[in-house]
Chains A and B, each alone.
Chain A
């Protein structure tokens, strides 16, 4: 199973993730690109991704607010804000680049045993809000 499907189903089932408009557009594709750790969702069940996300939020209490997570995710590699007009495909590409960069620069974190890029860990944290609603 291509696990990427589960987020779409989850979101559509529970209603769109309410990502603050100030940071980006609020539509399903866009939310998926932001909160779905693309690689991890190919190898993990959604429950695992949720658990990882909750573990990060427990570790960093400031991430109890999804605005904080979104703000961190919505930056480019050179720490600039991602423009609201950025397409979901482009957003996904930026996330992928950030993940690669994390691994290259040792910006990794171990959550529930998984050695993850910090960016994908934040994606998991964002996902955990959505999953809780289901």
Chain B
């Protein structure tokens, strides 16, 4: 069922068993799991079914620290969320990403990679991905033209990626959600406040507002906050009526440890002979990125990161995202990105990419960020149209990221040198190892992780291993804001997997209640 919350009488009270706040990749994935269950499920979406600028403006906020994309345009605020324009790149986190690494302060999840494996597999069909296979050997059997560079497997390895069509959740899952009998989707239902019972140990209700001036109350046994990596902490911080520092923020952790994936061109690979690089190039098929092994990361005390390849003479026609994604309107930013890179989106360009042979490649980095408490989201003094304080992002990097990027390319350089096939040239910003600054083209992947991080210790985190807010018995958080570390992959597949795991957990709790 679907109800436009603007059409309800003001101050309506909506009641159900489970309330999912947010209808993006995470919220919709969870909602799908509850269809035809014996429970009454409420799914709240702040926007409608398509883009509206005044609704999108609720995501606007301030940027300080490392330059970043405008907050307003870095997520989409309507049913389906940012899957409305995501690129579809998927891979799994590595086992090392979950471990406590003594060289990465604040690392160490309280779950392991194997805990997520069954959920990764379940997430695959939701994202319309291929078989749950990420070994290079498997994909080489499907396409023997995928030949790896001759690296020492103890040093570097080829991390496989798959590509979602990309699944637009808003289109793909609208009908099934709207037609579900036990589930009601409320659009134009922005949660602006979470209220606890007087004993302050569990959530009683959430306050919902919209731009039509309506305010409603939603009550449920369990609440799952599944907005996004910036809105999740924002809502907790803004729920400060009963909790002066915000809900779940007894230890001043909410909003801290914000992490992005640094995405930046970093080096050039020059080969003596032309190489097709089918394993590594974007061809509409699974492909690999060059990654550092766990052993290498430990040896050199570096972060997890990967390098992707594009022919140098083609990549010159691509402009850095941080330069092109500068408009507050995500549609305009997307247009700017496409206009600036229109040659790169041309069919001829893609044909050249896949058919011609090249001797030189740009090496492009994607690397995790060290979990840093000073990299954080706070509330601004300015309020949005619903009276909620806007988010303020202070994205902060440390010298460990830069040292890790540099090491990645030193190692690739060493490996291609050893193989006698090429040499690597670092970009200027990496050449002086004492220089800790970042160039103007430093960008992120629009991945907002860590600001409601997971850990067993409430003093170090916001949620526990089941994504439950430590101080609240019935409030859970879904999405990449729960990530303890970011890994070297785009987060959507892990977001969906973690959401499915959370969904199973809440189902178990519901059964116990029954």
A residues whose Cβ falls under 8 Å from a Cβ of B: 39-40, 42-44, 99-100, 102-104, 106, 108, 110, 112-117
> Are A115 and B420 touching (Cβ within 8 A)?
no
The answer to whether A108 and B270 have CB atoms under 8 Å apart is no
Report which of A100, A106, A114 forms a contact with B423, defined as CB distance below 8 A: A114
Residues of B within 8 A of A44 (CB): 270
Are B418 and A114 in contact (CB-based, < 8 A)? no
Beta-carbon contact of A115 and B271 below 8 Å: no
Known: A106-B414, A115-B409. A43 touches B424 (CB 8 A): no
Which residues does chain A contribute within 8 Å of B422, judged by CB atoms?
A: 43
- Are A113 and B414 in touch, CB under 8 angstroms? no
Which residues does chain B contribute within 8 Å of A114, judged by CB atoms? 413, 423-426
A42 vs B409: C-alpha distance when bound (angstroms)? 21
**Which chain A residues lie closer than 8 Å to B415 at the CB level?**
103
Q: What separation, in Å, do the CA atoms of A99 and B267 have in the docked complex?
A: 21
> 10 nearest interchain CB pairs?
A115-B413, A103-B418, A103-B417, A113-B426, A43-B270, A113-B425, A115-B424, A42-B272, A113-B431, A114-B425
- Residue B143 at the A interface, CB < 8 A? no
Q: Which residue of A lies closest to B417 (CB)?
A: A103
Q: Is the CB of B431 within 8 A of A110?
A: yes
Q: List 28 interface pairs A-B (beta carbons < 8 Å), by A numbering.
A: A43-B271, A43-B422, A100-B418, A100-B420, A102-B417, A103-B414, A103-B415, A103-B417, A104-B418, A108-B413, A108-B414, A108-B417, A112-B425, A113-B267, A113-B425, A113-B426, A113-B428, A113-B431, A114-B413, A114-B423, A114-B424, A114-B425, A115-B410, A115-B414, A115-B417, A115-B423, A115-B425, A115-B426
Q: Which listed residue, B272, B420, B427, touches A113 by the CB 8 Å rule?
A: B427
Closest approach, in angstroms, between the C-beta of B332 and any C-beta of chain A? 36
What is the distance, in angstroms, from B203's C-beta to the closest C-beta of chain A? 54
Q: Which residues of A contact B267 (CB under 8 A)?
A: 113
Closest chain-B Cβ to A129's Cβ sits at a distance in Å of 22
Q: Which residues of A contact B409 (CB under 8 A)?
A: 115
Query: How many residues from B make CB contacts under 8 Å with A?
Result: 23
- Docked-complex contact A113 and B430, CB < 8 angstroms: yes
Contacting pair B425 A39 (CB below 8 A): no
Chain A residues with Cβ below 8 Å from B420 are 39, 100
Query: Who on chain B is nearest to A111 by CB?
Result: B431
Contacts of B270 in A (CB 8 A): 43-44
Nearest chain A residue, comparing its CB with the CB of B433:
A110
* 17 other A-B residue contacts (CB within 8 Å) besides A108-B417, A113-B267: A42-B272, A43-B272, A43-B423, A100-B418, A100-B420, A103-B418, A104-B418, A108-B414, A110-B426, A113-B427, A113-B428, A114-B424, A115-B409, A115-B424, A115-B425, A115-B426, A116-B413
Give the secondary structure class of A's interface.
mixed
Query: Inside 8 A of A102's CB, which chain B residues have their CB?
Result: 417
- Which residues of the other chain, B, contact A117 by a CB distance below 8 angstroms? 417
Q: Which residues of B contact A115 (CB under 8 A)?
A: 409-410, 412-414, 417, 423-426
CB distance from A26 to the nearest CB of B (A): 29
In the docked arrangement, what's the CA distance between A104 and B417, Å?
9
A106 CB → nearest B CB, Å: 7
A110 touches B410 (CB 8 A): yes
Quote the shortest CB–CB distance from B415 to chain A (angstroms). Answer: 8
| CB pair A39 B423 closer than 8 Å | yes
- 1/0 contact trace for B233-271 toward A, CB 8 Å? 000000000000000000000000000000000010011
Which of chain B's residues 387-430 have a Cβ closer than 8 Å to chain A? 409-410, 412-415, 417-418, 420, 422-428, 430
Residues of B within 8 A of A106 (CB): 414
Interface contact A112-B410, CB-CB below 8 Å: no
With both beta carbons as reference points, the residue of chain B lying nearest to A43 in the complex is identified as B270
Known: A39-B272, A43-B272, A108-B410. A116 touches B418 (CB 8 A): no
Nearest CB of A to B438, in Å = 17
From A99, which residue of chain B is reached at the shortest CB distance? B417
A123 to chain B, nearest CB (A): 13
Give A44 Cβ to nearest chain B Cβ, in Å.
8
| B361-375 at interface with A (beta carbon < 8 Å) | none
Which residues of B are found within 8 Å of A104, using beta-carbon distances? Answer: 418
Bound Cα distance A99, B413 (Å): 13
Residue on A nearest B273 in the bound complex, by CB = A42
**A112 CB contacts on chain B under 8 angstroms:** 425, 431
The smallest beta-carbon distance between B411 and chain A, in angstroms, is 9
CB distance from A130 to the nearest CB of B (A): 21
| Complex Cα–Cα for A131 and B415 (A) | 29
Most chain B Cβ neighbours within 10 Å, of A42, A106, A112: A42
Q: Please determine whether A116 and B410 come into contact, CB atoms closer than 8 angstroms.
A: no
Complex Cα distance A15/B412, Å? 38
Expressed in whole angstroms, the Cα–Cα distance for A99 and B414 within the complex equals: 11
CB neighbours (8 Å) of A42 from chain B are 272
Shortest A109–chain B CB gap in Å is: 10
Q: How far is the CA of A102 from the CA of B414 in the complex (A)?
A: 9
Distance between Cα atoms of A109 and B32 in the complex (Å): 54
- Complex formed: what's the CA distance from A114 to B271 in Å? 13
Q: How far is the CA of A102 from the CA of B417 in the complex (A)?
A: 9
Q: Beta-carbon contacts of B178-205 to A below 8 Å, as 1s and 0s?
A: 0000000000000000000000000000
Complex interface: chain A residues within 8 A of B410 (CB): 108, 110, 115
Give the complex CA separation of A115 and B431 in angstroms: 10
Instruction: Give complex CA distance A44, B418 in Å.
Output: 18
Q: Which of B424-455 contact A (CB under 8 A)?
A: 424-428, 430-431
Instruction: Please name the residue on chain A nearest to B413 by beta carbon.
Output: A115
**Residues from chain B with Cβ under 8 Å of A103 in the complex:** 414-415, 417-418
Chain A nearest CB from B171 CB (Å) reads 45
- Chain A residue numbers with a CB within 8 Å of B428 are 113
Residues of A within 8 A of B412 (CB): 115
In the complex, chain A residues whose CB is within 8 Å of the CB of B430: 113
Of all chain A residues, the one with the shortest Cβ separation from B426 is A113
